[in-house]
Amino acid sequence: MPAETIDGKQRVTQLAEALERWSSDDLEAPKLLFNHETSLLAFHRRVLALARDETAPLLERLRFLCISCTNLDEFFEVRVASTRQRIRHGVNQPGADGLSPQGTMAAIRERVLEMVEAQYRVLDEELLPALREQGIRIIARNRFTRRQRRWLHNHFRTQILPVLSPLGLDPAHPFPRILNKSLNFAVSLSGRDAFGRSSAMALVRAPRSLPRIIRIPKSYSAGPDDFVFLSSIVHEFIDELFPGMEVLGSYQFRVTRNSELLVDEEEVEDLARALEGELMERGFAEAVRLEVAAGCPEHVVNLLASKFGVDLDDVYHCNGPVNLNRMVAVYDLADRPDLKFPPFNPHIPRSLGPGSDLFASIRRCDHVLHHPYDSFQPVLDLARQAARDPQVLAIKQTLYRTGVDSMLADLLIEAARNGKDVTVVVELRARFDEEANISLATRMQEAGVQVVYGVVGHKAHAKMMLIVRREGRRLRRYVHLGTGNYHQGTAKAYTDWGMLSADPVIAQDVHRVFQLLSGYGRAQPLKRLVQSPFDLHDFILGRIEREAELARAGKPGLIMAKMNGLTEAGVIRALYAASRAGVRIRLVVRGSCCLRPGIPGLSENIRVRSVLGRFLEHSRVYHFGNDGDPETWASSADWMGRNLFQRVEVCFPIDDPEAAERVRHDSIDLVFREDVQAWELDGQGQWRLVRSNNAKLHVQELLMQQATDG
């Protein structure tokens, strides 16, 4: 594991130097907040650290390296793109942390340079040697044997060359449009072609139809798992694309573009059609980063930077393949289960198992499920029973991310064809899933499903399913509420909480939220649920202040929460005030956290930890001590401005004491045990791995074992 580790009981308490000018009465001081962007980059560094974890299976470590690269791509596509736009439009106002957009970009540059260097160092010095020891080799060009080169040459001529279209740069061939994150080669040339033209430069684009990792047949290698990058093959034989010309050098490059879709929702008449038009242009939007091979000459770098309209501060030199994340193909191609996480079979509660009457089971009591330790199958089975039950009259569903092949979508279509009234709120603006969601919405509409796209200006991020069933003379409603998406794949890879309930008050609240999403009207008061953008922010502030008042009265105050991001300044300042009042605060934050914990006189009662591992921590849980009458809530919302003010989110109570205890234990208590591995944040923004002498247990492994034991 990384060298930056601390004992589990060690606390950072002396930060006077970092906050020497802070006034104890000034909770508005910008320096009390970390920068959102740099905090998010710190999360990406923690993901990269998993690639160095020698206790993890080797191919999983490779996968974590690739995930860190993909995360960094998205960071540029979204976060950097947004910061650059503010600069371009002259918006110089500092954020809540006091850092201007220009200052933010400088901080990003410094940290990304360090991270990119670390990524290639981890690959070259740790992963590739370890893979070779296991018989998995990535063959570099200078290591091709004569027989391998002969096979690769034939492969190039028969499988690659026919697909490539080299482009000379001259007045008749201007610089082409380069697709976002595509692999390209800048080629320096000398000589004249058949038409007497001389060109110093040409481009070669590698179509996405070509695999980026090629397996060398076993008969040409020392074993079954020898691979080579497509880029290595192209480099080796690129001269065949320019017969009679001298290739002076070829250099990989890749451009990353702004991937935010800019649609004026107030002006368009058809959001789906407008987004389809934007999707066609997304791959050619404004460039925000240029990656080039480490040996790329300065004049070539300058040419590319000028053509893409980026500054040299937006250029990153890569000491290896510019599309490093494509190495994830090795994970799939290498048939080595011994180098991967062992299979895990999630638990299915007996009362929700195959053949169960789920409606009867849910009528008896609420069921709280912790995915992926508990199977997502009962949720699908409930939708299946609803689709085929003649007593079910209507189904309402929110869909944010579902995947291209969604069993749930198929069941909703089946329900519509069976005569049920099916209404689905599809969030078209789910980033990077827009195309899949448009296709899904079209398919459901063609089957008779009533599809709506939520509310203009507010993403529908709530996770809800409502089933209306006739039972005798009455209509009963059944609901599923969750912290995650209705996506079969992420249900196996993300940690989330879900609740199945027939509580009539909760069901009525869910019905009212659906009314707002599909129709018009003022927000009606909810009795059990809390909803953003209307009252969730005030609810959170109110609960924090209640704990602070208890502490000021000499009673124990307790706040515990788990989320993906904590960035909303108002909530952070309320937590500071509660900490100063004496409230004990424990936070589990997976990603960006702008709160400074452990500052004497401010946040010394706050501890922040983070868990990373096999599964992506995704659940949102809030717990308040409430003077011995504790409240536990689950939600689709993080404590971030976008969730609290710009999205439709739902927060729901976990009323059953046993279920609430499990939610709190699994999500928060377990993370703060001193015998488990977790990352802890200090007041200077450093995340360090807690590793006491016996801290060898992993939270997720403990929960998997708990699920296996049933």
Residues placed in the known binding site for ATP: 71, 494, 590, 618
Q: What is the dihedral of CA 639, 640, 641, 646, to 10 degrees?
A: -90
Strand 246-257 and strand 367-371: pairing?
unpaired
Residue 317 DSSP code: E
Residue 3 DSSP code: S
Residues placed in the known binding site: 71, 401, 431, 494, 590, 618
Pick from 150, 140, 166, 151: nearest CA to 232? 140
278 in Cβ contact with 261 (< 8 Å): yes
Q: CA 318 to CA 301: how far, in whole Å? A: 12
| HSE of 95, CA atoms in CB hemisphere, 13 A | 23
Both structure tokens of 541: 């502030």
The catalytic position among 370, 461, 480, 698 is 461
Which phi and psi (to 5°) does residue 318 adopt? -110, 125
From residue 163, how far is each of 117, 156, 179, 182, 509 by CA, in Å? 33, 10, 16, 15, 56
For residue 526, give every residue at least 6 positions away whose Cβ sits within 8 Å of its Cβ, in sequence order, or none. Answer: 509, 512, 513
Instruction: With H, G, I as helix, E, B as strand and everything else as coil, classify residue 330.
Output: helix
Which phi and psi (to 5°) does residue 612 adopt? -130, 145
Q: CA 602 to CA 625: how far, in whole Å? A: 21
* Residue 461 falls in the annotated catalytic set: yes
Both structure tokens of 493: 């890879």
CB burial of residue 337 (10 Å; 0-12, 13-18, 19+): exposed
Active site residues: 461
